[in-house]
Amino acid sequence: MILEVVALRLLGPALMFAAAIIVKGYADVGDGFSAGVIVALAISLRYIVLGPERAEQGMPILRRAPVVAVAGLLVALAAGFFPLLLGEPPFTHHPGPGEHVVKIGTLELITAVLFDIGVFLLVTGVLVVLVHHLTRLVERARA
Amino acid sequence: MKLIFAVAISALFGTGAYLLLHRDLVRVVLGIVVISQASVLTLIAASLSRGNAAIYPLRGRVSDPLSQAMALTAIVIGLAVTGLLLVLVLRAVVAYRTQELDEIAAEEAARDEEEERSHQVRHDDEEAAAR
């Protein structure tokens, strides 16, 4: 009962925390990977408490987890290898160190953040796919 | 700091080894998970150094990023191994309808015996037919 309430409410704070980790990730401890793991943990608690059917009824995007994972992979690869087209080494980020950066609050718009978001989507998607298949297998074993 | 890490690692490893020696398959998997966490902590403790995050441009002393990258790799590998082990346990539970090692062994022995007996019966039948 308590677990159900917590599992349903936990996703919001988890997303908030993940966003904070991504925002400070390029200049401080934290990155897309840990943010993705945090969100995936909250989602897997939801799966464990509600079971795969009800968990995905409430959040249809969970069924699209493979698409999210592939999209994240493509975003990360694009952010990493786009500089090759400009004749620069891969993972050169723009704007470079010391140059002017567009800021939205504390979020600085540089391509490193885009890469982190890609990693975040990839990790979250893959973990959700994993939990989805595991819970499905458990349900089938119980039936 | 080193002492704290050492105590934490030994506690984790001890807990993991205790779980690993259980008869319950799920606890065995949990033990492996806890031991892999102990190994991650060992990797981090192997290069404890104070300093800024190693992000370009470097300012003053930076902490050693190598062991942290290796810890990240170990975490990912641990995740994959955990997933694989859980599925294997699930298959064992589906096949033998129990997650106790003893009961699985007993069930396996019973099945072997059954198979042996059916072989024997078939063999006897063939011999009788040949006669």
CA-nearest of A116, A140, A132 to A46 is A132
Which SS3 state, helix, strand or coil, does residue B106 take?
A: helix
Residue A25 has pLDDT above 70, yes or no: no
pLDDT at A26: 63
Q: What's the Cα-to-Cα distance from B92 to each of A41, A52, B103, B112, rounded to whole Å?
A: 26, 21, 11, 16
Contact call for residues A53 and A59 (beta carbons, < 8 A): no
Query: How far apart, in whole angstroms, are the C-alpha atoms of residue B69 and residue B46?
Result: 13
pLDDT at residue number A30: 66
Using a CB-CB cut-off of 8 Å, the residues of chain B touching A98 are: 57
Largest CA distance in chain B: 93
Q: Is the pLDDT confidence value at B39 over 90? A: yes
Residue B19: both structure tokens together: 């779980």
Q: Please report where in the chains the tokens 């396996």 appear, as a residue.
A: B108
pLDDT in tens, A85-135: 888 888 777 776 667 777 777 677 777 888 889 999 999 999 999 889 888
Report the greatest alpha carbon distance in chain A.
61
Nearest CA among B24, B81, B71, B82 for reference residue B45 = B71
0.90 exceeded by the pTM?
no
Interchain pair A138, B90: CB under 8 A = yes
Please state the rounded mean pLDDT for residues A35-64.
87
| B55:A130 CB<8 A | no
pLDDT at A27: 63
Side-chain-side CA neighbours of A5 within 13 Å: the count stands at 2
Instruction: Give me B98's structure tokens.
Output: 């129990």
pLDDT, tens only, B43-99: 988 888 777 777 767 778 888 888 888 888 898 899 889 989 988 998 888 888 887
Indicate if the pLDDT at residue A70 is higher than 90: yes
Predicted pLDDT at A59: 82
Instruction: Evaluate whether ipTM surpasses 0.90.
Output: no
Quick one: closest CA in B to A138, which residue? B90
B97: closest chain A residue by CA: A141
Comparing B65 with A28, the larger pLDDT belongs to B65
Q: Which residues pair with B62 in a beta bridge?
A: B52
Question: Contacts from B78-84 at CB under 8 Å and sequence distance 24+?
Answer: B78/B33, B78/B36, B78/B37, B78/B40, B79/A127, B81/B32, B81/B36, B82/B29, B82/B32, B82/B33, B82/B36, B83/A130, B83/A134
pLDDT above 90 covers what percent of chain A?
A: 21
When the pLDDT of each residue in chain B is averaged and rounded to a whole number, the result is 88
Interface of B with A (CB under 8 A): 53, 55-57, 72, 79, 83, 86-87, 90, 93-94
- pLDDT for B124 equals 87
| pLDDT at residue number B17 | 96
**DSSP states of B18-69 as a string?**
HHHTSSBHHHHHHHHHHHHHHHHHHHHHTT----B---SSP-SSB--HHHHH
Name the average pLDDT for chain A.
84
How would you classify residue A105: left for phi > 0, otherwise alpha for psi between -120 and 50, otherwise beta?
left
Question: Given a cut of 90, is residue B16 above it in pLDDT?
Answer: yes
Higher pLDDT among residues A68 and B54, named by residue: A68
Which of the four pLDDT bands, split at 50, 70 and 90, describes residue A73?
A: very high
Do B99 and B85 form a contact (C-beta atoms < 8 A)?
no
- Per-residue pLDDT, averaged over B32-53, amounts to 88
> What does the block give as tokens for A104?
């939205």
